[in-house]
Amino acid sequence: MPTQIDSRVMLRLLILWLASLTVLLSPSSHADALVAQPLLTPIPDNAGLKQRPFISSILDLSQYGYVEREFQMSGTANLYDADGRWRSDGLWNTTIAQADVPYATRLLVRRPADPQQFNGIVVVEWLNNTAFMDVDVIWAQSHDELLREGYAWIGVSAQFFGVTMLKSWDRERYGELSLPNDGVSYDLFSQAANAVRNQSALLLDGLPVKGIIGAGESQSAIRLTTYVNAFQAQAVQMYDAILLYSRFALAAPLKAGISLVSPSRVYIRPDNRLKILQFETEQDIFMFLFRLARQADTEDLRSW
């Protein structure tokens, strides 16, 4: 019979990898040359008609010593084209198609109120947009572990449909948000981590950050596959580890939409320097053909 794997195992494996790192995050890192620093603006808890964030926690977080806060993140991002042909090996390059495109999105933060409760690790989730709205799948399936062990969690509204739904759901709260298309999502995900690194006084009320895990499920994992292959230089400076939960054999495009790129199978690039855990279900392996993209484990890459 198939063995049921507790979601806590995924995060514990990543923590072991994080503990093995010899260089922790530093605000003076040269990563700032690669990734822009966004502007963060707190969104009042009672703002708008609904007076709460979209997908606010259904748990009473105060019972766990946690608080939930929301921020508008704004700035400029680039749109990209592929530089050369993208092959299955994941050794992908990009070129800037349009620079400095204005955007405004939101970050949803759940964190310990007491610094003594914080374990130093921030999980940054690429919110899933398969249902044409933000869904916090990683949080939903791992919140017991996150709350018990003192993680901070940040959900990033990185895609067009998610932001469009936010504005429809509460225009007073989210009316200033604007994404041109999904092409800016990759820079947004880097900038969210840069905000964790360099603006934790505002974003996390000063919690001392030791490591950042980027995470995404299904469509978000597909987009993160493109992120780690096409934007490796940014990703390795912004994130210590990446969780790819239920990714398929393919990867996502650079430009607008949710269609997939042409290679029938996409591997994680062989020169990858991120700690990556791929967590796949039987459905992912057979129905969604992840078996075509299987590759041998390495020091930095594990598949479960």
Report the CATH number at residue 117: 3.40.50
Q: What is the pLDDT of residues 41-86, one digit of tens each?
A: 999 999 999 999 999 999 999 999 999 999 999 999 999 999 888 8
| Beta-strand runs (E) in the chain | 39-43, 66-82, 94-112, 121-126, 152-156, 211-217, 241-245, 275-279, 301-303
pLDDT for 217 beyond 70: yes
Show the domain range for 193. Answer: 12-54+64-303
In a domain, 85, yes or no: yes
In sequence order, what DSSP letters do the residues of 168-197 get, joined into one string? HH-HHHHTT-B-S-GGGHHHHHHHHHHHHH
pLDDT for 259 beyond 70: no
Amino acid 29: pLDDT: 47
Strands of 39-43's sheet, edge to edge? 39-43, 66-82, 94-112, 152-156, 121-126, 211-217, 241-245, 275-279, 301-303
Distance of CA 96 to the CA centre of its chain: 22
What average pLDDT does the segment 7-26 reach? 52
Amino acid 11: pLDDT: 57
First and final CA of the chain: distance in angstroms?
16
Place of tokens 């020091």: 299
Separation CA 44–CA 300 (nearest Å): 40
Amino acid 266: pLDDT: 85
Amino acid 287: pLDDT: 52
pLDDT greater at residue 265 or residue 284 = 265
In a domain, 219, yes or no: yes
pLDDT for 260 beyond 80: no
Domain count of the chain?
1
Amino acid 174: pLDDT: 98
Separation CA 302–CA 275 (nearest Å): 8
Separation CA 150–CA 156 (nearest Å): 20
pLDDT band at 211 (very low <50, low <70, confident <90, very high): very high
**Could you count the other beta carbons within 10 Å of the beta carbon of residue 87?**
12
In a domain, 1, yes or no: no
In a domain, 2, yes or no: no
Separation CA 243–CA 259 (nearest Å): 21
In a domain, 264, yes or no: yes
Amino acid 33: pLDDT: 63
In a domain, 7, yes or no: no
Element (H or E) spanning 200, and its range? helix 200-203
Amino acid 247: pLDDT: 85
pLDDT band at 153 (very low <50, low <70, confident <90, very high): very high
In a domain, 3, yes or no: no
In a domain, 197, yes or no: yes
Amino acid 89: pLDDT: 85
pTM: 0.89
CB 68 within 8 A of CB 108: yes
* Mean pLDDT of all residues belonging to the chain: 85
pLDDT for 21 beyond 60: no
pLDDT for 27 beyond 90: no
Amino acid 26: pLDDT: 45
What average pLDDT does the segment 280-294 reach? 60
Buried b (16+ CB within 10 A) or exposed e, 261-291: bebebbbbbeebebbbbbbbeeebbeebebe
What average pLDDT does the segment 184-194 reach? 97
Amino acid 203: pLDDT: 98
pLDDT greater at residue 6 or residue 260 = 6
pLDDT greater at residue 258 or residue 53 = 53
pLDDT greater at residue 150 or residue 8 = 150
Q: What is the pLDDT of residues 102-118, one digit of tens each?
A: 999 999 999 999 999 99
Separation CA 112–CA 158 (nearest Å): 24
